[in-house]
Chain A
Amino acid sequence: MAAIDESFTLMENMAPLRIVIVGHVDHGKSTLIGRLLHDTNSLDEGKLEYVQAVCQKRGVPFEWAFLLDALQAERDQNITIDTCQIWFQSARRPYVIIDAPGHKEFLKNMITGAAGADAAVLLIAANEGVQEQSRRHAYLLQMLGIKELVVLVNKMDLVDHDEAVFDAIETEYRAFLTQIGLVPRVFVPISARQGSNIATHDEEHFDWYEGPTVIEALDGFLARAAVDDQPLRFPIQDVYRFDDRRILAGRIEAGALKVGDRLVFAPSRKGAIIKSIERWRDAPEGEESDVLDRAVAGESIGITLDEQIFVERGHVASHDEDAPTLTTRLEASVFWMGPGNLEVGRTYRLKLTTQEVECKVVNIRRVIDAGTLDIEGALREHLERDDVAEVEIETSAPIAVDLVKMTEATSRFVLVDEYDVAGGGIITGAEPVAPIEATLGLGRITSRERRQRNGHRGAVVWVQTDTGSPRIFERLERALFQRGIQTVWLDEADPGPISSALTRAGLVVIASYPEAGPPLVAAEETSIVIDLRSQSSDESRRPVQGLDASTLTQSVVDYVLPLLRPRSQP
């Protein structure tokens, strides 16, 4: 840095546009990025010479891709391991390039890279044409909501710069993209290795091409639009009690709020008025403090309220007239990143903004082959790594959501399996909850206090019988009641929502379950399943036996009682 290098000036005071570069393995992503860096004069001084020297020392031909290889393993194997981010700039603006590897585990890496991108570059090698991954990548970009993209047809030097080859690829790929609703800005024929049409037009080889260079194409992208004109979504991240003030902290995900606005919080549906917007040091010391009484999407702020209502992490503030949907039943497009399978009926954790609930996939509607758009014929009970599907999900407690066409941030969720984020999804449908489910059990009395008072946990005892006759239910209700259990028999066609609410109120609900299996109830509560049918399919659900109604009731009670005892956990 001894001297100021006048040949190079970093763009001032501009946010970079984030572009993800995707494409089939070996279609030339790293070569393209190496070229972009070099041709825009963005490489560190001496980097090119250094890599050339290393290649010479090792006796391998120089590759542009080597400029990006940060890891020894990448240089050794000539592959890109994991997503990487690189800064460069055109004459118009700065960019961050996200390089998403195309080899195995591409889905996890590509999603990680593309989820945060403003725009995408799809790369297709002219000599190999449109490949399965070319289509899969496009399908996922569309799922992730990326609308700005260009397609680069690379390695044109390997097909003698033939316009007909380029046209055929454009026709084929454009047809596929149209099917999934993507409209690329432009197709550019290039040779990354030669540097053709990257920063400058290669007139010699491409006299037939009059469109933009890669750089010109990138400069045509629009940044993602601001979302501050949408309905307000302010998920609470944490509640702080610093300096005797109770501050609700979070990031505004959509819309705007101002002092004096009346907010309503999901799922409690309680409301209060914004007293102040909190930011630490609105203006540097010594300057007039310019207190802003308004905040918009993207800002991490804090607010105080005029009333001390109960609010905690995971609650979502909105304006009264534009509240999100409270639901326990979702329809979603999901992608699964593994490592294990997604199993129907297994419990996962669902995280959406700062909300977190347990959930089950109750039905896989259809599995889509993203490479062909074919719908898989056979019904499936699981998803494997890299699968894309439309599913129905049930959550253990109500969450506040929006549909993807309305508000992106509150329509996207991830699924956590054990310790790992294993899947993601976009909400396409949501059934609003019955009001009782949303409002019951959200007071200040904790379930622990209820357990101590009652001497037992809140729970649902799911009983399935051959006849559906009320006899056994009436007997069971009476028998448990006589043993001091606060219990109620619920004869409901759809017992899920009400059971959930009643168990949160500390009661033991007795109910029969639908054919599809017991619904998911509030996660902290016990669900006890007893199948008394003579032809039970599942031995694990038949813990009790009895010869007649009275001994049967007794053995059910003996089985259930120990399970209702409060456990030591809080």
Chain B
Amino acid sequence: MKAAILPPEVVNVEPQLHRYSPDTSRPDYSHLDALESQSIFILREAFNRFDKVANLWSIGKDSSVLLWLIRKAFFGHIPMPCVHVDTTYKIPEMIAFRDELARQWGFDLVVGKNEEALAAGTTFPQGTADRVQCCSMLKRDGLQQVFDEHGYEAVILGIRRDEEGTRAKERYFSPRDKAFQWNFRDQPPELWDQFKTDFAPGTHLRIHPLLHWTEVNIWEYIDRERIPVVDVYFARNGRRYRSLGCAPCTSPVLSSAQTVPEIIEELRHTRVSERSTRAQDQESEDAFERLRASGYM
């Protein structure tokens, strides 16, 4: 099932103009203005309210848009560290892209790894862990280790409500307890853009500036702003990645879309959910819910 993804040739973090709508026929994307403004407002609140705030960067399309919005909010600057939780199973091209973008845009890249779990060799598929346990070890625990090490109070994440049912219930500012647990039964009220920015010691906040965007909005914005994305989103040999995760648990989809407008056109005609290519979600009826309640992104 896994398509052979070619090893990285040249990693280009400059927007490759042929991938985007040409100047002469750029669609009317004015409906994105309100989404952008709301995200910028949230990012500025996060930066103002927390001294120790980090941006969690997964290198996927959503976190690329998030990074772009951070530059918008802070007038070209990225005034906070960007944390990448490296499972070491990422598609190799993503890592090359990560390092090159951090170099060119000049931000503080913090890479977290659950070295213990990796050394123990229990991870999926070689070890004894199943997909869900593996996600929990490498991503959730990996994130918690970075948190403990750097003492972050808040972390910014690029999740969206339209991705998946439990994410649809999220708040922009979402508290997690000491054990990283998400109490979805008792979430804080959120109204008139007044967010929960006060919290008991030991707890932390997850901040979700892209919650109100949809998958198509993300691509429309990438097209409008010409945001560089990892090349594996574009079809090669009839396949492309729609959602990026670890190589063993993420499959490409059949596609001929080689440009951003072609991806948008493809998405406008699909009713297949975005995370259907992420195998860990499909392990059981409530696999993703259990992952998220325990602190997964």
Contact = CB atoms under 8 A, between A and B. Distances in A.
B75 A85 contact: no
B103 interface: no
A31 B290 CA distance: 25
Given A14-B31, A421-B189, A351 B76 contact: no
Interface string A60-86: 000000001111110100000111111
Interface in B135-171: 161-162, 164-166, 168-169, 171
Contact of B198 (A249, A286, A300, A416): A416
B29 interface: yes
A279 B184 CA distance: 37
Interface string B205-228: 000000010101000100011100
Q: Which of B72, B187, B253 has the most CB of A within 10 A?
A: B187
A421 B168 contact: no
A87 B191 contact: no
A1 B255 contact: yes
A69 to B, nearest CB: 8
A5 interface: yes
Given A10-B268, A87-B162, 16 more contacts: A13-B27, A13-B28, A13-B29, A45-B273, A46-B272, A47-B273, A84-B165, A85-B168, A105-B186, A237-B44, A238-B47, A238-B48, A280-B75, A300-B73, A419-B196, A420-B196
B260 to A, nearest CB: 13
Contacts of B77: 242
10 contacts: A5-B269, A81-B184, A242-B74, A278-B75, A284-B224, A284-B225, A284-B226, A300-B40, A419-B198, A421-B191
Contacts of A4: 266, 269-270
Interface in A295-342: 298-300, 302, 313, 337
B88 interface: no
Contact of B267 (A10, A13, A47): A10
B147 to A, nearest CB: 19
Contacts of B237: none
A280 B191 contact: no
B271 A43 contact: yes
Interface string B28-45: 111101111110110011
Interface in A37-61: 41-47, 54
A123 interface: no
A414 B161 contact: no
B184 A84 contact: no
Nearest to B242: A1
A116 interface: yes
B115 interface: no
A70 B74 contact: no
A83 B185 CA distance: 10
A302 B75 contact: yes
Interface size class of A (residues with CB under 8 A): 35 or more
A247 B212 CA distance: 27
Nearest to B20: A284
A322 B203 CA distance: 43
The 7 closest A-B pairs by CB, nearest first: A70-B165, A115-B191, A300-B40, A10-B268, A72-B286, A45-B271, A44-B273
B199 interface: yes
A168 to B, nearest CB: 35
Contacts of A550: none
B270 A8 contact: yes
A285 B289 CA distance: 41
Interface string A243-264: 1000101110000000000000
Contact of A5 (B30, B254, B270): B270
A452 B56 CA distance: 43
B1 to A, nearest CB: 13
A313 B271 contact: no
B12 to A, nearest CB: 15
Q: Which of A14, A250, A300 has the most CB of B within 10 A?
A: A300
B98 interface: no
Nearest to A45: B271
Contacts of A109: 189
A424 interface: yes
B191 A111 contact: yes
Nearest to A279: B72
Interface in B269-289: 269-273, 285-286, 289
Contacts of A43: 271
A280 B76 contact: yes
A287 B96 CA distance: 29
Contacts of B31: 13-15
A247 B75 contact: yes
A95 B106 CA distance: 39
Interface string A418-448: 1111001000000000000000000000000
B168 A5 contact: no
A287 B15 CA distance: 14
A46 B270 CA distance: 12
A6 interface: yes
Contacts of A238: 44, 47-48
B116 interface: no
A281 interface: yes
Given A85-B168, A111-B191, A12 B74 contact: no
A39 B196 CA distance: 37
Given A14-B31, A85-B168, A115-B191, A6 B72 contact: no
Interface string B59-74: 0000000000001111
